[in-house]
Amino acid sequence: MEVTLKTDIFEDMVELTGCNYISDLPHRRKRVLEELKELPPHSYPKEQLEKFSHYVFGEDYTVVMGTLESKKGSETTCMK
The predicted-structure confidence for 4-58, as pLDDT tens digits, reads as follows: 777 899 999 999 999 999 999 999 999 999 999 888 878 899 999 999 999 999 9
pLDDT at 42: 83
**pLDDT score, position 69:** 82
Contact 3, 12 (CB under 8 A): yes
Task: Report if pTM > 0.95.
Answer: no
What per-residue confidence (pLDDT) applies to 60? Answer: 95
Comparing 52 with 74, the larger pLDDT belongs to 52
